[in-house]
Chains A and B, each alone.
Chain A
């Protein structure tokens, strides 16, 4: 196959990938979009194999490895529970990162195959491209592994910080730049290996200071990195499908990070440089004295909601932890039978990754046109009878609007306090991730339901 024809096929794959993302603008077109993506991938792999035209031993090995990887991937995809989606995505990012590193190593060791020159005499531009691809890929790999461990609970979700951390990261970053320059001058193999090793280290150091609830930003950021790594390799291999895909994924991840940061009213650097949990805030110790709380049970909650005309449900990470989404939908079904209008309000940073709550609700067969984003539903709280907050906390805290001293001041929140009554399902009065007390607990119109989210929801359904 001629190089030009090959390039045209890669271009077609690239366009199909654009259509795959475009399909996600609405749930109706999304399935078709996914199909375009698969088609694009099949074309890219197919023409690459045809262009090599080597159908002997190597080809058989290729099929075997493809099959091994494919079955592992398919097995995971079918088995994984929807609540575990954040760690799955983090895990998949790490694989892309590592694959980029491996391809870069391969290109460095055997540059003739990719038309990049000869070992020890690789073209400077290609060397820069593959170094960047390898470095970003390595950072993506270890960073995603740490994110995976934190999300999976195999590693503490609290930020790990130490003295001089930012200084060390800066020094390592500069060292990486220096190594790339030196590598271009000398083409020394050991410099290439140290470049990759140091990038692995940087990936770890970048992610350990970031706390559990900032994971939406981290995952989006790593998503972006995996894209830039792919683009770097795409330049090395002069492959337009890879360049287009890298650019798409890179900008997609960057936009998601931006949306997540905006959802918390924090700058990107603020998140990257360390979690909230790390700084000792004045607000932490303020409210140690016991304030009166209205404590309710399932019957009270059922009574309140049955007699309401409209209920808004505010799910948060706690719902995912308790796996309460199915119980919640059953409760809503019985409410609907009683003629209650129910909708769901999703905060941009609810859960551990962008869109986490939407997927869980979709899994529980909640129709997507009952689920609303913050800006679309926030005005409705004033006219709603009951707000049912399940597993969310900081995103409802009115202190974000009133107290400039508070660490979450300025963060957009769901105006839960405007509804006639608020039901708060929570295991205890403990503060949320930001480490601040939620004023809402002590309000006259708030009823606290102290229990496991799933159990409580099931009990309410029974009493309805």
Chain B
């Protein structure tokens, strides 16, 4: 008897929820804002779906409805990826420890 691949993906999903649960509880409260901006950035990995959708078929099909939605999704996700990681970087660069001299 073969196991449906869906079950494998479901297992990954459930285990990742648990990993997420424990990892997020260990995030220090002072970094909750960067946590939100970085989760935002990584959830834009949905861009991989957009790329497949946009480049589907041969070149004559590039302006088919399905492909156009793919391209639109690429723009949206790209805004998020660059914006999300950069703004997180900007925030994290500001967190400094007390200087020894004080």
Contacts and interface: CB of A to CB of B under 8 A. Distances in A.
Contact of A21 (B20, B50, B64, B90): B20
Contacts of A109: 65-66, 69
Interface in B54-99: 54-57, 59, 62, 64-67, 69-99
Contacts, number: 377
A45 B9 contact: no
Interface residues of B, number: 84
A250 B20 contact: yes
A22 B37 CA distance: 14
Q: Is the interface of B mostly helix, strand, loop or mixed?
A: helix
Contacts of B73: 98-99, 102-103, 106
A38 B13 CA distance: 22
Contact of A252 (B24, B59, B65, B83): B24
B62 A80 contact: no
A246 B37 CA distance: 14
Interface string A106-150: 110110111000000000010000000000000000000000000
Interface residues of A, number: 117
A244 B39 CA distance: 12
B96 to A, nearest CB: 6
Contacts of B67: 58, 106, 110
A250 to B, nearest CB: 7
B46 to A, nearest CB: 5
Given A14-B16, A41-B41, A355 B32 contact: yes
Contacts of B98: 367, 369-370
A25 interface: yes
Contacts of A230: 43, 45-46
Given A66-B78, A73-B86, A106-B66, A355 B51 contact: no
Given A223-B36, A246-B43, A255-B24, A73 B53 contact: no
Contact of B74 (A65, A107, A255): A65
A244 B46 CA distance: 11
B30 A58 contact: no
Contacts of B21: 251, 255
Interface of A: 10, 13-14, 17-18, 20-22, 24-27, 30-31, 33-34, 37-38, 40-41, 44-45, 48-49, 52, 54, 56-59, 61-62, 65-74, 76-78, 80, 82, 85, 88-89, 92-93, 95-96, 98-100, 102-103, 105-107, 109-110, 112-114, 125, 219-220, 223, 226-227, 230-231, 233-253, 255-256, 259, 336, 346, 348, 353-356, 358-359, 362-363, 365, 367-371, 373
16 contacts: A34-B85, A40-B45, A59-B55, A65-B54, A68-B75, A69-B74, A77-B90, A96-B80, A105-B66, A106-B66, A114-B53, A237-B52, A242-B49, A348-B29, A355-B31, A368-B97
Given A25-B28, A92-B80, A99-B50, 5 more contacts: A38-B85, A68-B78, A109-B69, A237-B48, A248-B39
